[in-house]
Amino acid sequence: MNLNILVLPGDGIGVEVTGEAVRVLREVARAAGHSVRFTEGLIGGVAIKAEGTPFPAKTEKLALAADAVLLGAVGLPEFENAPPELRPERGLLRIRAAMGVFANLRPVRTYKPLLDSSPLKNSVVEGTDMIIVRELTGGIYYGTPRGISGEGAEERAVNTMTYSRAEIERVSRMAFTLARTRRKKVTSVDKSNVLENSQLWRKVVIEVSKDFPDVALDHMLVDNCAMQLVLNPKRFDIVLTENMFGDILSDEGAVLTGSIGMLPSASIGEKRPSGAWTGLYEPVHGSAPDIAGQNKANPLGAIGSVAAMLEYTFGLTNEAAAVNQAIESVLAQGRLTADLKPVGTPATTEQVGAAVRAAIQL
Ligand code: IPM
Ligand code: MG
């Protein structure tokens, strides 16, 4: 198979973690006899500095031409006070929209060797295995009108939370389809006791569920969900929710398993005419400028994102499983970066990457 991949390292630790993820992908391709071609582009703060925009037209062209995109992270403290359209984060929102990747899959599962890294009791987290399916190209992140206007006491800011039936339907179908490959349970999360937006969300999710009678559906208000995630995370299989709720809940979910550095994500859109899924793959963590360039960052979220890419975009399930097994074996060896609170000296980003490559069996 020919894999044509765009790498967008972005800012901060994005550079180091995608570096290791690319090396792992090269190793998998070598071992399994695939040919892989990488191109590289700019996004986020580095793109603002070089091109004056967080999402240059050249990057968009490369992204649409690639089979899949591997992204590191965006965000730099120097842009903290910049207007929204000139912030690194806007690059991420624009590439998601340009690629049409409306469903963001964030798997949260515990690894035995990491149970002690979780802030929760072992007995609470052990066995947790869920996927948060976050709607990614709609809702309050993109709704208009938006902006700040007026002056003095009348200065006012507005954002708009908006969803169409079609937007809710397609991401719901994705969630129910995914549930069929797992424990067949979808929990839809909303705030329908307050928001009309959530009332439509709930109505459409119920309608879609009729096409999946073998999948159990329940509904949970987002505030209660935030609580249940720490009280009883094992109860969740697929968590289906809108863009901003999913952003918030997925950070909470991430830390249950020990560190946000562990979490991969896959953002999927429509099937291409070729039959492949458009995909943008990125770790859930941010650019962590405080540790950037120090060889300390955990590359496993980025490496796990490569496994997701192999699975969802290329349908290479054996190769994906080999990467995930290599990650587990490295954790079992206790080769942990500082975020996972290892006993003794933490491993470096490069050491963890090398250990994963060495553990790949194909
Ligand atoms: C995420 C991030 C982004 C988001 C930011 C960096 C724009 O927090 O992917 O979860 O809010 O979607
Ligand atoms: Mg987030």
Q: Is the predicted pLDDT of residue 255 greater than 90, yes or no?
A: no
Give the model confidence (pLDDT) of 317-341 as tens digits. 999 999 999 999 999 999 999 999 8
Does residue 251 carry a catalytic annotation?
yes
Strands (E), the chain: 2-10, 35-40, 68-73, 103-109, 129-135, 147-149, 156-158, 185-190, 216-221, 238-241, 266-271, 277-281
Q: How far apart are CA 136 and CA 240, in angstroms?
A: 11
The DSSP result for 110-178, as a single string, is: --GGGGGGSSS-HHHHTT-EEEEEEE-SSGGGT-SS-EEE--GGG-EEE------HHHHHHHHHHHHHH
**Pocket probe mutation, ligand 1, options 247, 260, 284, max atoms within 8 Å of Cβ:** 247
What's the confidence (pLDDT) of residue 278? 83
272 pLDDT more than 80: no
| pLDDT confidence of residue 333 | 94
Q: When comparing pLDDT for 272 and 246, which is higher?
A: 246
Ligand 1: centre distance to CA 32 (Å): 33
Q: Would 1-105+259-362 and 119-256 be classified into the same CATH topology?
A: yes
Q: Is the pLDDT of residue 164 over 80?
A: yes
Taking the domains of the chain in order of start, what are their residue ranges?
Answer: 1-105+259-362, 119-256
Task: Output the CA–CA distances (angstroms, integers) from residue 354 to 19, 71, 288, in the order listed.
Answer: 11, 20, 22
Query: Which one of the listed residues 67, 163, 190, 191 is annotated catalytic?
Result: 191
pLDDT the model gives residue 108:
95
Mean per-residue pLDDT for 25-33? 97
- Band (pLDDT 50/70/90 cuts) for residue 276 is confident
What CATH number has the domain spanning 1-105+259-362?
3.40.718.10
Report the range of poorest mean pLDDT among 25-29, 169-173, 277-281, 357-361.
Answer: 277-281
- As to burial, measured by CB atoms within 10 angstroms (0-12 exposed, 13-18 middle, 19+ buried), residue 177 is middle
* CA 116 – CA 112 distance, rounded (Å): 9
Q: What is the pLDDT of residue 189?
A: 99
The answer to whether residue 258 scores a pLDDT higher than 90 is: no
DSSP per-residue string spanning 67-84: SEEEEEE---GGGTTS-G
Q: What residues contact residue 22 under an 8 Å CB cut-off, 6+ apart?
A: 7, 38, 70
Nearest CA to ligand 1 atom 8: 247
Residue 223 annotated among the catalytic residues of the structure:
yes
Residue 89 to residue 43: CA distance in whole angstroms: 9
Architecture of domain 119-256: 3-Layer(aba) Sandwich (3.40)
Q: How far is the CA of 286 from the centre of ligand 2 (A)?
A: 8
Give the ligand 1 atom nearest the CA of 250. Answer: 10
Q: What is the pLDDT of residue 50?
A: 98
**Catalytic-residue membership of 247:** yes
Highest mean pLDDT of the ranges 79-88, 109-118, 194-203: 194-203
In the reported structure, the alpha carbon of residue 89 is separated from the centroid of ligand 1 by a whole-number distance in angstroms of 7
User: Residue 2 C-alpha to ligand 2 middle, in angstroms?
Assistant: 32
pLDDT, mean of residues 152-163: 98
The better pLDDT of the pair 117, 195 is held by 195
Mean pLDDT, residues 45-67 taken together: 97
191 classed as catalytic: yes
* pLDDT at res. 170: 97
The pLDDT of 151-171, averaged and rounded, is 98
Provide mean pLDDT across the span 64-75. 96
Q: Would you state the pLDDT for residue 243?
A: 98
Please give the C-alpha separations between residue 301 and each of 76, 241, 284, in angstroms, as whole numbers: 20, 22, 7
CB 66 within 8 A of CB 8: no
Distance from Cα 243 to the centre of ligand 1, integer Å: 10
Inform me whether the pLDDT recorded for 124 exceeds 90: yes
Instruction: Find the ligand nearest to 95 CA.
Output: 1
Instruction: Kindly state the greatest CA–CA separation across the chain.
Output: 65
* Pocket residue to mutate for ligand 1, from 79, 87, 92, most atoms within 8 A of Cβ: 92
218 forms beta bridges with 187
From the CB of residue 79, how many other CB atoms can be counted at a distance below 10 Å?
20
Looking at the predicted structure, is the pLDDT value of residue 119 above 80?
Answer: yes
pLDDT for the residue numbered 271: 79
Kindly name the residue from 142, 247, 281, 339 that is annotated as catalytic: 247
Residue-level pLDDT at 218: 98
274 has pLDDT over 80: no
% of the chain at pLDDT higher than 70: 100
Is 218 a residue of the active site? no
Ligand 1 binding pocket includes 11 (Cβ within 6 Å)? no
pLDDT at 310 over 90: yes
